[in-house]
Structures are given as C-alpha cells and as structure tokens.
Amino acid sequence: MNKRWKPSVTVAAIIERDGRYLLIEEHTPEGLRLNNPAGHLDPGEAPEAGCAREALEETTYRFTPTALVGVYMSRLQRPAREGRAAEDITYLRFAYCGELGEQVPGATLDTGIVRTLWMSVDEVRAQTHRLRSPLVLRCIEEHAAGQRFPLELVYTDPSVGHPPQG
C-alpha cells in the first residue's frame, strides 16, 4: 500500500522586545520544555492567522504578524513507551515575527502551558536541552540576524477558507 506522506503544518510567533524573546514553558511527553508560542494550523486557516491565534492562546497577548522569518522542517521520532505508540512526525513550520499587542483581560493560558518567560538569545542557547525542538533556537537566531521576508511570500487562496464538506 502506498501511503501519502503528510507533514504536520505548524506556525510559530517569534516575539522580541528589547533583545529578549517571549517563550512558553509547556508540558510535553518529554517533560517541561521551552518553545516559541506555536501550534498546529487549523483547517481553513491561513498561516498568518493561525500564528496570531496560537500566540493569543499560548501567551494571552494579541499578536500581529508583520513578516515571515522563515519556513522550516524538522522530524520528531518518539519511541514507544508507557502504553504510547511510537511516533514519527515531520513538522513544516511557518515562523512569523510581528507586533505584540495588549494582554486580553480574562484570557488564560492554553492547556499544558505552565508560564511565559522572556529570554535573551544567550539564555535560550544555554537551555538547548530544554527546547521542544531545534527550531526554537534556529528561528530566534535567524530573527536576531535580521532575516525577514514579506508576508506576501505565503499566499493563501480563498478556497482554503472553505474546506470541503464530508
């Protein structure tokens, strides 16, 4: 049987203020890990909109993407353990930088998120053993180096907003 490969599409917010980056600390099967505010793209959602949504859910702050930092791929191979099946997942990540807005009154951190924290690039580098994936640091370093692409680089056709029924 020939099975079509389908990477998991994720979006990440690379949020910097005064040389420090906003990260989240979250529960994962590997324990507490640090990540950029990030998550899976929902059906019918443009990557830019998904990034704003994930940033709000994971930080309680509004976020407006202004540029694409990059598009990244990584692979997670998680062995079977404690009654869980082995996993082999390839992620395709769209990372955006932008403007951090106001905190939404009454908003709470998404399930699994323990806290948010601000870290310098050097502090993130010192915590590589705690990063959810190598893409966390890669995105931050490329942002710090000034890498930016126009939002128009990622085009979402209007048909995406109307996923097929069934």
Predicted pLDDT of residue 161: 87
Q: Which residues span the domain enclosing 58?
A: 8-78+86-150
How many separate domains does the chain show? 1
User: What is the rounded distance in angstroms from the CA atom of residue 17 to the CA atom of residue 21?
Assistant: 6
163 part of a folded domain: no
For the full predicted model, state whether its pTM sits above 0.85.
Answer: yes
165 part of a folded domain: no
Q: What's the CATH code of the domain at 113? A: 3.90.79.10
- Residue 44 makes CB contacts below 8 A (sequence gap 6+) with 160, 161, 162, 163
Segment 82-128, tens digit of pLDDT = 888 888 889 999 999 999 999 999 999 999 999 999 999 999 999 99
164 part of a folded domain: no
Segment 64-73, tens digit of pLDDT = 999 999 999 9
Mean confidence (pLDDT) of the chain: 94
158 part of a folded domain: no
